[in-house]
Chains A and B, each alone.
Chain A
Amino acid sequence: MAVEVRLPNILRPHAGGQATVSADGSTIGEVLKALVAEYPGMAGQLVTQTGEMHKFVNVYVNDDDVRYLDKLDTKVTDGDTVSILPAVAGGGV
């Protein structure tokens, strides 16, 4: 399963400056693992050593935050877009 992964600015240097990369996996956990295998600079930035998602990283499948789906077990299928975004302060509208 190949999905498109959109990277935030702060992770792009680890992927040769690319904003979007392709990664294989049938779950978010597998996709993130594939990313780190391809771009070792991302090690520890996405998933902690204890296997939890990094606190300040939000991962979305087609705009939905996977923390409210099945976290790292969230399924992805061909054609899905995975977005990684840092957790930042909202506007406080």
Chain B
Amino acid sequence: MAFYNNILELIGNTPMVDVSVLSPNPRVRIVAKLEGQNPGGSVKDRIALAMIEEAEKDGRLCEGKVLLEPSSGNTGIGMAMVCKVKGYRLRIVMPANVSPERRQLLEVWGVDQIIESPGNEGSNGAVRLARRLAAEDPELVFLYQYANPANPRAHYEGTGPEIWRDCPEVTHFVAGLGTSGTLMGVGHYLKDQNPAIKVWAIEPPSGEMVDGLRNLEDGYIPPIFEAQGGAELLDNKTIVGPRDSIEWTRRLRDVGVFAGISSGAVLAGAARCASRIDEGVIAVVLPDGGWKYLSTGAWTDDIDLVTERAKTTIYF
């Protein structure tokens, strides 16, 4: 193909690169899928396009409609790009304490409105507020990434087969746990091909940041995770804190991979996995590039300072 018909055709088919030089175990290879190569800059381009096209197909979304979505950043940015190309209006509900680049990018794409939810409620607060606003105004098209089956399907039909095609020797799959879309979609696809493949979820210690949570009943498990049998699918779930995340973001930089802080968390988790197994090939998804995190000083400032800052900023 000499050229693409429009920018949306460039979503997906991201490259994988061997970063085994970072593996703590010489018998374990680590191969990273660079989702920052998507045109909107993150893995979320995939689900943004899939959810919007699914809604077009089933008639929920048509000309003149306004979409509403809770997002700490990348989903909002991906949807904003797709909406710009397709001519839809979009409102994003976003926690107040995300890195400023995320807000700037939403402004670049010209979203209708950025609605702030309280920072100390984290993504939970954004989800809660968006659900309320959607319930109050049935005219809004609420695709709701945490519950939309098109989210894991984008990974079952896209990300998963791409990893299997490019890295069929994979023995372990490691990715971050947010909506759980990547883990459910890719995890199910890979296990369907080879049931011996193990799936590891990496999560930030977000519960510590979210001091606005008033009681445990405010807790939240993404509907996708439950609908797709997440508890049975995952073989391990492990926490990676801000300091490890930043250290591994820097190690990625040292091998020429400029990735976001959640990518550092995923690499830290992959390293933990590598040190616990005898041999294997770990495929990891690096959700985005480093551009949106320049203001955090993650690569250049004193590590203690950056770690403290990361505790109050949503980076995952």
Are B222 and A90 in contact, CB atoms less than 8 angstroms apart?
A: yes
Q: A87–B207 Cα gap in the complex (Å)?
A: 7
- In the complex, whether B115 has a CB less than 8 A from a CB of chain A is no
Residue of A nearest to B314 (CB): A91
Q: Are A88 and B219 in contact (CB under 8 A)?
A: yes
Q: Which residues of B contact A67 (CB under 8 A)?
A: 231, 237
Question: For residues 191 through 212 of chain B, which have their beta carbon under 8 Å from a beta carbon of chain A?
Answer: 203-208, 210-211
Q: Assess whether A65 is in contact with B72, with CB atoms less than 8 Å apart.
A: no
State whether A90 touches B316 (Cβ < 8 A).
yes
Say which residue of B42, B75, B122, B262 sits within 8 Å of A89 (CB atoms): B122
Q: Can you identify 9 A-B contacts, CB atoms within 8 angstroms?
A: A45-B216, A54-B216, A56-B217, A85-B207, A90-B178, A90-B222, A91-B73, A91-B206, A92-B75
Nearest B-chain residue to A90, judged by Cβ: B178
Contact status A92-B236, CB under 8 Å: no
- The contact string, 1 if C-beta is below 8 Å from chain B, for chain A 34-71, is 00000000000100000000111110100111011000
B residues neighboring A (CB under 8 Å): 42-44, 70-75, 122-124, 126-127, 145-146, 176-180, 203-208, 210-211, 213-222, 231, 234-240, 260, 262, 287-288, 314-316
Q: Which of A45, A60, A83, A90 contacts B177 (CB 8 A)?
A: A90
Further 9 A-B residue pairs, CB within 8 A, beyond A90-B178, A91-B123, A92-B74 = A9-B213, A63-B238, A65-B237, A86-B219, A90-B179, A90-B204, A90-B206, A92-B145, A93-B288
Q: If A88-B124, A93-B73 touch, does A64 touch B236 (CB 8 Å cutoff)?
A: yes
From B146, B221, B236, contact of A87 by CB (8 A): B221
Residues on A close to B: CB < 8 A?
Answer: 8-10, 45, 54-58, 60, 63-65, 67-68, 83, 85-93
A9 close to B316 (CB less than 8 A): no
Q: Which residues of B contact A8 (CB under 8 A)?
A: 207-208, 213
Distance in angstroms from B55 CB to nearest chain A CB is 18
Query: In this complex, what residue of A is CB-closest to B260?
Result: A93
Take A63-B240, A64-B237, A91-B123 as given contacts and tell me if A86 and B44 are in contact as well, using a CB distance cutoff of 8 Å.
no
B72 lies within 8 A of A93 (CB): yes
The complex places the Cα of A58 from the Cα of B204 at a distance, in Å, of 13
